[in-house]
Amino acid sequence: MNHPPSTPEEWWSNIDAAWDGIIATFDVAISEIAQKGRGPFSYDAVALDRARAQRDHTTIQRSLQDLFWKAPDEAVIHTWPAWGVICDLLSEYEEIFDQED
């Protein structure tokens, strides 16, 4: 089980460990978001893979943030494959990466 990250290394470790689940969450979210009328939502798996390989945290964070804000505010989101990990990654993001600047 992942724990909320507190360093950039832990943030990336959580990303790497949950990557398949994160991508599966994006796939599930597309139909759920459309069904709930929460606006258009899509993602670019190739761009996300590239961002992960290049350790481009900004691109990944923006995609996760878009998913988070468009997700329906309903219990169903907690059944999405990596929703808890995504929430942890987002909740700690600014504190972790502001320390790098």
Q: For the chain, what are the domain ranges?
A: 8-98
pLDDT tens across 2-51, in order?
689 999 999 999 999 999 999 999 999 988 888 887 777 888 999 999 99
b/e for 61-96, b at 16 or more Cβ within 10 A? bebbeebbebbeeeeebeebbbbbbbebbeebbeeb
pLDDT tens for residues 12-21?
999 999 999 9
Global pTM reads: 0.89
